[in-house]
Amino acid sequence: MNQILKKEKLAENIKKITIEAPEIAAKAQAGQFVSLIVDKKGERIPLTIVESDRQKGTITLIFLEVGKTTFKLGKLEKGDNIVSLLGPLGKPTHIDRLGTVVTVGGGVGIAEVFPVTRAFKEAHNDVISIIGARSKNLLILEEPLRQVSDKLFVTTDDGSYGQKGFVSDVLKELLERQTKIDLVYAVGPVPMMRVVCEVTRPYKIKTLVSLNPIMVDATGMCGSCRVNVGGETKFGCVDGPEFDGHLVDFVELQKRLGQFCRQEESSRECCRKK
């Protein structure tokens, strides 16, 4: 059992929890995730390890409440336990001194780019971060990202804060200004990652995306997280979650993410009634 030591609300439906998990904290690296079960009858879900503290033996997760499991997780309080926590899972991000790295985060994807942004900064890269949300009240981690970035750009879809528009608009402007960029790293909704890859493709800039296919066992056994990358089948949980964005079949990924819509909607309804 892993106890929740701290809980915070970052934005509407976005929660941050710090959990006692010394074995995971000892090994976790940027880009990795955990798979957790909230209660005895629950399903496993994957969540990125946003922070880990080896000394304290803790890890921090940030999640958007979208369905049954994330709603249940959001209801747990300090002192409650998580029934099962597996990790660290997935391949860590390959961190190197590359030059200029642009990290792009959309929505709760901002939480997922944070550890990677910090790791690239610690490896002495020039780091430009671009973060965006639908509206100001949904924007998270602006200050922590500012601390680990040389430059930070903020967008909101509705113009309530920062530049009105999308993160990909800022990236496009940077590229048009001919800023030398050695790597782009993007996490967010599938359409956002897809557009980011289309923006960088003509410039032939290496673009990594951290994908969120539906995962069941998260250990490479069930095949539910398969994604088509460059015509080959890859498993998000063991081969990823990061892939070369220029090779990812985003249309298929989006289709696969929608395959349990009806079941997800009915389990969300059950949660609301409780």
Ligand X SMILES: Cc1cc2nc3c(=O)[nH]c(=O)nc-3n(C[C@H](O)[C@H](O)[C@H](O)COP(=O)(O)OP(=O)(O)OC[C@H]3O[C@@H](n4cnc5c(N)ncnc54)[C@H](O)[C@@H]3O)c2cc1C
| Nearer to ligand FES among residue 76 and residue 222 (C-beta) | 222
Q: Which of 66, 83, 123, 221 binds ligand FES (CB under 6 A)?
A: 221
For residue 246, give the amino acid letter: H
Contacts of residue 57, defined as CB under 8 A and 6 or more positions apart, other chains included, come to: 20, 21, 22, 25, 26
| Nearer to ligand X among residue 174 and residue 215 (C-beta) | 215
Binding site for ligand X (CB under 6 A): 33, 45-48, 62-64, 66-70, 108, 111-112, 212-215, 236, 241, 257, 264, 267-268
70 binds, among ligand FES, ligand X, none (CB under 5 to 8 A by kind): ligand X
Paired sense of beta strands 100-106 and 126-133, if any: parallel
Backbone φ, ψ for residue 33 (5° rounding): -140, 170
DSSP string, 75-91: H--TT-EESEEEEEESP
Q: How far is the CB of 137 from ligand FES (least distance, A)?
A: 33
Contacts of residue 38, defined as CB under 8 A and 6 or more positions apart, other chains included, come to: 69, 72, 73, 76, 82, 83
Task: Tell me the H-state helices in the chain.
Answer: 22-27, 68-75, 109-122, 142-147, 167-176, 190-200, 236-239, 250-257, 261-273
Q: Which of 4, 237, 248, 253 binds ligand FES (CB under 6 A)?
A: 237
Q: How far is the CB of 127 from ligand X (least distance, A)?
A: 20
Q: Report the DSSP beta bridge partners of residue 146.
A: none
Q: How far is the CB of 202 from ligand X (least distance, A)?
A: 29
223 binds, among ligand FES, ligand X, none (CB under 5 to 8 A by kind): ligand FES
Stretch of residues binding ligand FES (CB under 6 A), selected from 22-30, 51-59, 111-119, 235-243: 235-243
221 binds, among ligand FES, ligand X, none (CB under 5 to 8 A by kind): ligand FES
Paired sense of beta strands 2-11 and 14-20, if any: antiparallel
136 binds, among ligand FES, ligand X, none (CB under 5 to 8 A by kind): none
Residues recorded for the chain:
274
For residue 237, give the amino acid letter: C
| Nearer to ligand X among residue 198 and residue 264 (C-beta) | 264
264 binds, among ligand X, ligand FES, none (CB under 5 to 8 A by kind): ligand X
Q: Which of 5, 76, 86, 216 binds ligand FES (CB under 6 A)?
A: 216
Residues in the site for ligand FES, rule: CB under 6 A? Answer: 215-218, 220-225, 235-237
